[in-house]
Amino acid sequence: MINFNKPYLTGKETKYIKSAVKYGHISGNGFYTKECQRFFEERFGFRKSILTTSCTDALEMAAILCDIQPGDEVIAPSYTFVSTVNAFILRGAKIVFCDSRSDHPGIDELKIKDLITPKTKAVVVVHYAGVACDMDQVMKIAKENKLYVIEDAAQAIDSYYTGKDSVKKPLGSIGHMAAFSFHETKNIISGEGGMLVVNDERFEKRAEIIWEKGTNRSAFFKGEVDKYGWVDIGSSFLPSEIIAAFLFAQLENLEQIQIKRKSIWNQYHEGLKPLEDQGKLRLAKIPKCSTNNAHMFYVVCRSVEERDSLLTFLKQNQINAVFHYLSLHKSPFHLANNPFINLPNSDFYSECLIRLPFYYELKDGDIKRIIAEIECFYNQN
Amino acid sequence: MINFNKPYLTGKETKYIKSAVKYGHISGNGFYTKECQRFFEERFGFRKSILTTSCTDALEMAAILCDIQPGDEVIAPSYTFVSTVNAFILRGAKIVFCDSRSDHPGIDELKIKDLITPKTKAVVVVHYAGVACDMDQVMKIAKENKLYVIEDAAQAIDSYYTGKDSVKKPLGSIGHMAAFSFHETKNIISGEGGMLVVNDERFEKRAEIIWEKGTNRSAFFKGEVDKYGWVDIGSSFLPSEIIAAFLFAQLENLEQIQIKRKSIWNQYHEGLKPLEDQGKLRLAKIPKCSTNNAHMFYVVCRSVEERDSLLTFLKQNQINAVFHYLSLHKSPFHLANNPFINLPNSDFYSECLIRLPFYYELKDGDIKRIIAEIECFYNQN
C-alpha cells in the first residue's frame, strides 16, 4: 500500500527534545520556541512570528486580535477546512462564504467586493495548496473597505507572491496577520502545530498577551513590567518546547525538504501532463503571480462519478489517494442558521479534486506506479 | 542555585516519540493518545478522558460543553490561575469571584450559595495543591440550583476525596467535568498538556466533536457515519502524538514518581513542623476528606513583608522559592468592568504563601539545606 502521507523525521528531533529537557524548560516559550520564531522572522521577513499549538489556534488568536464581536461579518472561502471559519465563529462572527475561482480552488478575489456590508470586519483568504491568491486585489478591496486581511497560509510555507510591484513576497507577509500549520501532512511538521504571523504593528503587543493566557508574562520576562498578572482575555496558545524542538530540527532541513518535494511534484506533473493534454483530467495550476511550494499534488476529474471511480480504482491498486474539503456553505451546521447559496466552483472542487500521495520519502518507483495506474484508469474508461 | 522546578525525564519519552513517527502518525488522536486516555479511564475510573494541548484548553472545552452564553454567570475562586476564568469569559460569561477558605487556599464552599443568582450556570472549583475541596458540599449546592460543576484539577492528579458516603473518589471524577494539567511543573508532565474528563454522559458525544475542530471525525473513524464534516463549533484541542508519547512514558512511572514526591513532601513537613509549632509559619493543611498527592509544598507567612523578606533571603542563599497567584478579583482587567469586592482570604494567600522547590530529582541534601535556611531566617527575625 502506498500511503497518502508519511511524517518525515530529519534525525535531530529527539536529540533536540533531550536538549530541551536538559535546559530544564519544556513548557512554552523557551529556547527552541525563540529559535523557531527567529528563523521565520529572518528567513521570511515576518514582522513577528508566534508559535502556536495549531493553525486553528493561530486563526483564533487572529480573530481575538481583530476584536471580532457578535454580529460582525467575516468573508471566507467555502472550499476550506472548518478552522478557517470556526475560529471566527467562536468570537461571534457571521461567516459570509465566497466561491472559489474556476481555474483553481482559491477564493475568487473578484467576488469578494459584492459580499461586503457595513458589518464586514475581515476577509480570510486561503492559499490553497500553497498557491497564492491575488493579494494585490485582496489588499486593495480591504483597504478601500477598511477590512482586516488574514492569510490562512496553513499550506503555504516557503511560497511567494509577486504582484504589480514585481517584488516577490513570502505568503503570510502580506495580510495584517497570517496563520501557518505544521500538522503532519504539511511540508514542515511537528505533528500538530502552527504559527501566527503578525505583520501589522498594532497587534504586536497584544498578541503576546493573548498568547500567554491573557497575562503580561512576556513583558515581565523582558523586564518591561515588575510583576505579571491578568490583563486580558487569552488562551494557552503556546506549544510545549518538545514541539518547538521537533520543529526546529525540521526547519534546519527546509531547503533539502523543499528540493525533494519539488522533484516529486515535477515527476507527477510531467507524468500526468499527457492526460491533461488529452482533456482527461486537469492538473494543479500555478498562476504567474505565485511560486509552487510543492505542498500538494492534486488532479481534478471531470465529474464526481469519475472522481469516485478513480479513488476506488487507486485503492484497489494499493494507492491511498484522497478527496479534500466538503463545501462548508452546504454543511448542515451552516444551513441550520443560514440560507442556501450557490457556490458552484467550491462544489466542483469538493466533488472532483483528488490529492495524490505526497511525502518526502515517496519513492520514484511509487510515483511511476501511481502515474501508470491513473493512465490505466483513463485508458479503460 | 536550587531551582524551583526541574522537569523529569523517565527515560522512555524519546523512544516512544520515535515509535510514533515509525507508526506514521504524529498528529493527534493516535496510538499514544488512546493509550494515555485508556490509562486514565482504567486507573481513575473517569467516564471519558480526552487529552488536550493544555489544561486551559480542557477548561475551554468544558465552557463550550456547558453552553455558556453571554451574560451567564460562573462562580470561581479568585485565588487561582487566569485560565480557570478566562476559559469561561471567552464564551461571554461574567465571573463571580468567591473567597478562599481561611484554613487552606481552596474555595470557601459555604460562601458559594450566597453568590448564586438566576443567571448562574456553573461553579468551577480548584483543588489547590491537589487538596480536595469539600465536594459533598459543592455537589449539593449545585444539584439544588441546577448548576454544572467543573473541577479545575490542574494540580490534582492521583489525589482523592472521601465524603459522607466513605467512598474514596479520585479528584476529577466528581464534578460534571474536570480539567487536568501536564505542564512541566506538575507531577506528570508533557511540557504543555492537559486533559478534559467528562463524567456526565450528556457531554460525551459532543466533547469528541468539539475536540476535533467541530467535525464528526471521531465518529467517522469509529464507523458511525460514512463521511465526516462540519457539525459544530470547536477547536484543535487535541495534542500531537509527540506530546502523548512523552506523556505515556511519564504515566508508566506514575507510582515511582508519586512515592518519590511524597517522600520529599514528608521531609519538608517533618523539618518545618517545629517552626509551625512555634507559631512562626503555617504549613500546608491536608483536610481529613482529602489525600495528599504531593504536588506542591507551601508555607504561609504571617505578613506580606515577612513573605517578601523570606523570598529575598532564600534567593540570596541560592534557593528559588516563589509566591503564587495574585487575587484575580483585584486585577485591573477585572476591575475595569466590575465593582471592587473584599475577599480577604484570597488576598491573604496572594500575599503570604510561598512555594518551595519541588521536583523529582530534588536531593535530600537540598531539602535539608532549604529547611535549615528557613530556620535560620526565623531565628534571625
Other Cβ atoms less than 10 A from the Cβ of B377: the count is 19
Give the pLDDT band of residue B301 (cuts 50, 70, 90).
Answer: very high
Other Cβ atoms less than 10 A from the Cβ of A305: the count is: 11
Residues 189-248 in B contacting A (C-alpha not used; CB under 8 Å): 189-193, 213-215, 227, 229-236, 238-243, 246
What domains sit in chain B, N to C, each tagged with a CATH number? Answer: 13-251 (3.40.640.10), 254-380 (3.90.1150.10)
Instruction: Name the grid cell of A373.
Output: 495506474
Q: A148-157, B24-33, B223-232: which range is least confident on average?
A: B223-232
User: How many residues in total does chain B contain?
Assistant: 381
CB crowding A148-163: b at 16 or more within 10 Å, else e: bbbbbbbbbbbbbbbb
Distance CA A227, CA A221 (A): 9
pLDDT > 80? residue B152:
yes
Put simply, the answer to whether A83 touches B334 (Cβ < 8 Å) is no
What residues have CB less than 8 Å from B3, skipping those under 6 apart? A24, B320, B357, B359
CB A326 within 8 A of CB B229: yes
Distance of alpha carbon B174 from alpha carbon B171, whole angstroms = 7
The predicted structure's pLDDT at residue B21: 85
pLDDT given at position A381: 73
In chain B, which among 10-29 make CB contacts under 8 A with chain A? 13-14, 17-18, 20-21, 24-28
Whole-number Å distance between alpha carbons of B349 and B334? 19
Residue A208 phi/psi, 5-degree rounding, is -65, -35
Cell numbers for A314: 487507486
Place of cell 476525596: B161
Q: What is the pLDDT of residue B262?
A: 98
Q: Assess contact for A80 and A105: CB atoms under 8 A.
A: no
Q: Which residues of A touch B231 (CB under 8 A)?
A: 331-333
Q: Would the pLDDT of B381 be above 80?
A: no
CA atoms within 13 A on the CB side of A165: 8
- Residues A91-100 as b/e (b if ≥16 CB within 10 A, e otherwise) read bebbbbbbbb
Residue B276 CB burial class (10 angstroms; 0-12, 13-18, ≥19): middle
Where does the pLDDT of residue B225 fall: very low under 50, low under 70, confident under 90, or very high at 90 and above?
confident
What is the chain A residue with the closest CA to B333? A231
Chain-centre distance for alpha carbon A322: 18
Residue with cell 479511564: B41
Q: Which of A81, A191, A231 sits opposite B333 (nearest CB)?
A: A231
**ipTM > 0.95, yes or no:** yes
Instruction: List CB contacts (< 8 A) between A230 and chain B.
Output: 82, 86, 326, 328, 331, 333-334
Banded model confidence at residue B200, pLDDT cuts 50, 70, 90: very high
Q: Residue B241 pLDDT more than 80?
A: yes
CB contact (8 A) between residue B27 and residue A185:
yes
Burial class (CB within 10 angstroms; exposed 0-12, middle 13-18, buried 19+) of A65? buried
Contact B234 A82 (CB under 8 A): yes
Which residues are CB-neighbours of B70 under 8 A, at least 6 positions away?
A70, B91, B92, B93
Judge contact between B3 and B320, C-beta under 8 A.
Answer: yes
A373 membership: H or E segment, kind and range: helix A364-380
Instruction: Report residues of chain A scoring pLDDT below 70.
Output: none
Strands annotated E in B199-257: none
The distance of A70 to chain B (nearest Cα, Å) reads 10
**Is the Cβ pair A192, B235 closer than 8 Å?**
no
Instruction: Check residue A107 and give its pLDDT.
Output: 98
Other beta carbons within 10 Å of B351: 18
Number of CB pairs, chain A paired with chain B, less than 8 A apart:
183
User: What count of other Cβ atoms lies within 10 Å of the Cβ of residue B118?
Assistant: 6
Check whether B379 has a pLDDT greater than 80. Answer: yes
Rounded to the nearest angstrom, the minimum Cα separation between A372 and chain B is 25
Identify which of A50, A51, A53, A98 has the alpha carbon closest to the alpha carbon of residue A73.
A98
* Residue B227 in this model has a pLDDT that exceeds 90: no
What is the percent of chain B where pLDDT is above 90? 94
How confident is the model at residue A353, as a pLDDT? Answer: 98
Nearest to A86 among B24, B70, B233 (CB): B233
Q: Report the mean per-residue pLDDT for chain B.
A: 97
What type of residue sits at position A54? S
Nearest to A190 among B9, B87, B242 (CB): B242
Of B136, B171, B137, residue with least CA distance to B293:
B171
Give the gap in angstroms from C-alpha B117 to the nearest C-alpha of chain A: 24
Q: A84 vs A81, A141, B131, CA distance in Å?
A: 6, 20, 41
Query: Nearest-CA residue of chain A relative to B232?
Result: A333
Q: Quick one: pLDDT at residue B327?
A: 97
Question: Which chain A residues have a beta carbon less than 8 Å from that of B10?
Answer: none
Instruction: Answer yes or no: do A333 and B214 touch at CB < 8 A.
Output: yes
Residue type, A145: N
- Closest residue to B328, CB basis, from A14, A230, A235: A230
Does the pTM surpass 0.95? The reply is yes
The residue type found at B203 is: F
**Chain B residues close to A94, C-beta within 8 Å:** none
The pLDDT of residue A227 = 80
Residues of B in contact with A308 (CB under 8 A): none
Q: To which H or E segment does residue A246 belong?
A: helix A241-251
Angle at B341 between CA B338 and CA B345, to 5 degrees: 135
Tell me the per-residue pLDDT of B2-21, one tens digit each, with 9 for 90 and over.
999 999 999 999 999 999 98
